[in-house]
A and B are shown apart, each in its own frame.
Chain A
Amino acid sequence: MSTGRETVLARIRAAIGAEQGPPVTGPSATGLGLGPGPGTGSSASDPGAGAGSPQADGVTDRLAGRRHEDIPRDYLPVHRDEDPAALLDLLHENLADYRALVHRSTAADLPATVARLLAAHGSRTVAVPADLPPDWLSAAAGVAAVVDDGTLTAVRLDAVDSVLTGCALAVAETGTLVLDAGPAQGRRLLTLVPDHHICVVRAPGQIVASLPRALPRLDPTRPQTWISGPSATSDIELDRVEGVHGPRTLEVVLVTES
């Protein structure tokens, strides 16, 4: 194993070594307590040098010699109006465009909305994370909550009708729900195995416009699932079929304060 490692690294250095050019100060290298790897050149001890100097650009591949933070990012941080009401509408539209069933509700009406959706789906059981706000299910009479205490298995979940969760945030431009196993979301398998997922999004607090707005709010160390519509395949003659392995029905409740 370690010989493979040394061989691959040696080959990489042989391939690029002659044109190492300017030093790099990669993202968070110091934050992670990582020095640059051996062989990247002694210049790494002098991270400021090279940038913008004529020598730095005097290599074959000038663009590639940029420091990471100097990579041109001339793209837009957002493509649409960031007015909260506009974002709510855009999210609604894009979710629906990818065949999620979208509902609006006030915070006060949320329990009734959830109860109505579960009843309409004919659900008798609903899986929920242990920290689901208790009132969300308070109106769902006749539906048994299966609370995940961390021991719920996939086999057990396979027999549950629905799952109800919140989310970490939602991205309006792409119609994406992001779950990161944070509050009211539970483990990843919870929203994967049951065939019917109801996801609650709080507006405006949990809605961002775009990916560049979303990423800084997310913690990479948390396991994440980004969901944009129900599972789908176009593998058979490019006919889109909703639902292969994930929940075949995705319902989203957009909750506003009033």
Chain B
Amino acid sequence: MSGDTFLGMPSFPAAAAESTRNRRLRANLSHATRTIREKRARAVAELTDWAELRAAGKAIKDHTLRHLDRYLLQLEAAVTAAGGTVHWAVDAAEANRIVADLVLATGEREVIKVKSMATQEIGLNEALAAEGIAAYETDLAELIVQLGDDRPSHILVPAIHRNREEIREIFAERMAAWGRPAPEDLTDSPAQLAEAARLHLREKFLRAKVAVSGANFMIAETGTLVVVESEGNGRMCLTLPETLISVVGIEKVVPSWRDLEVFLQTLPRSSTAERMNPYTSLWTGTLGPEGDGPSAFHLVLLDNGRTTALADQVGRQALRCIRCSACLNVCPVYERAGGHAYGSVYPGPIGAILTPQLRGTTSEIDASLPFASSLCGACYEVCPVAIDIPEVLVHLREQVAGQGGHRLERAAVKAAGFALDHPGVLAAGERVAGRARGLLPDRLPGPGRGWTDSRDLPDLPGQPFRDWWKKNRSRSRSRSRSRKDSR
């Protein structure tokens, strides 16, 4: 697993403390998450059958994962029959190699990209750069992140940590080095900034011969890929170039065309709080009227740790995720820590359960992630595919505790401390669902049990947690050595 952009990340608590000190980031984040949270609640309330849609979405994904080999083979056959070529990549290095070779074979040295978490996960842009290929991000937020030589901090709004003055500065200073410069008289009005991005990117769209995308869904029975977006840069990338390369995680397959009626109802409302997002593109291989869209289509199916998650009967539910980001927006820890603290492209509650499964828990940051939560359960309540994030967190905590190691333990303890030390986090914890409460380790202070007191005594909650850690660790390791450092 590469994740180049995040190499050298400090563990969660260190990064989170840094973000918490950054007042601007916190203000941006609080405003953003509160706004989206309220809008989402209204959008969801419009559908009286939300619970049934959620149950169906969960069932479809579970069913698919259970028969994943079969559906991937069906997808492969359908894509191939429709004129596409399917590639399989075991890990990031293999996926990057495949994409780089495909681009090099076209003779082109630049590609346009539509926002894709999978390609960020594998560090594709860096890998392409090493081959002399320039990859241009075309999503407005990704453009801000790329021009600012920065990292994304939110699934849906990757530049949520930047405000308009900063964005104006980045555009004014950096656009010229990448292509069409920003207008001289650029102000910080969002409309003007968007116009500058439109002009800057349009010349790239019009000349690009190769595009790289991800996909929200792949339909096994028809070989159709689906990309959901707002700005139109996705349509540009998917329609105008001659060659289209889509890098998609193997868990994105769904069995049937009909299954879209569930996810295209739940995804936009959970994600952008809209009845429907402005643009959705659907294409099947290179079929369709002559000259409509790319003449060459490559699908790269990416494993990169997903099969490891699949093998874990508790953890595999993380593979149901449709990347709506609703769990981020309700998470009290995310709101205070910021997306960067999670040290991967998947921030927030989903990142805390997905990243350790994809990458393992041998690094401090990854081992600390399952502890970056107060287990309040708000993420589970909003999740449109009913992923029980608290359940997986507790499961992963046991794993980390079981593998031991002083360095990892310290990172974990500090992450838990961060979650427990922040008054707002604790207050939010009081909303905990009764079901999640049952999952709380015995001696971790539960909501309503002295959590409010801890506002004044921020060091206290760490102690019972450490007891819990010791207990679990010794339980998991039957012959555990006595720990030298009990502090």
Contacts and interface: CB of A to CB of B under 8 A. Distances in A.
Nearest to A17: B69
Contact of A72 (B56, B138, B163): B56
Contact of B90 (A7, A19, A20, A187): A7
B140 A244 contact: yes
Contacts of B164: 236-237
A74 B59 CA distance: 12
Interface string A192-233: 100000000000000000011011100011111111111111
B292 A12 contact: no
A244 B144 CA distance: 14
Contacts of B428: none
A34 B77 CA distance: 8
Given A40-B67, A231-B279, A189 B48 contact: no
Contacts of A239: 190
Interface in A138-165: 150-151, 154-155, 158
A73 B59 CA distance: 9
Contacts of A8: 72, 88-90, 250, 301, 303, 307
A71 B258 CA distance: 12
A64 B256 CA distance: 16
Interface in B45-86: 46-49, 52-53, 55-56, 58-60, 62-63, 65-74, 77-78, 81-82
Contact of A238 (B35, B70, B205, B260): B35
A246 B201 contact: no
Contacts of A21: 66
Interface string B276-301: 11111111100111111100000001
Contact of A64 (B31, B66, B239, B260): B66
Interface size class of A (residues with CB under 8 A): 35 or more
Interface stretch (B174-182, B217-225, B332-340, B367-375): B217-225
A113 interface: no
A223 B55 contact: no
Contacts of A243: 194, 198
B248 interface: no
A176 interface: yes
Contacts of B191: 241
Interface residues of B, number: 110
A15 to B, nearest CB: 4
A214 B257 CA distance: 11
Interface string A29-66: 10110101111100000000000000000001101111
Interface of A: 1, 4-5, 7-9, 11-16, 19-21, 24, 26-29, 31-32, 34, 36-40, 60-61, 63-66, 68, 71-76, 79, 94, 98, 150-151, 154-155, 158, 171, 173-176, 181, 187-189, 192, 211-212, 214-216, 220-239, 241, 243-247
The 3 closest A-B pairs by CB, nearest first: A246-B232, A37-B73, A245-B232
13 contacts: A19-B313, A32-B221, A34-B77, A61-B66, A63-B59, A71-B63, A72-B56, A75-B52, A220-B257, A223-B292, A235-B158, A241-B190, A241-B191
Interface of B: 28, 31-32, 35-36, 46-49, 52-53, 55-56, 58-60, 62-63, 65-74, 77-78, 81-82, 87-90, 94, 98, 138-141, 144, 157-160, 163-164, 167, 190-191, 193-194, 197-198, 201-202, 205-206, 219-222, 224, 230-233, 235-236, 239-240, 250, 255-258, 260-262, 264-265, 272, 274-284, 287-293, 301, 303, 307-308, 310-311, 313, 316
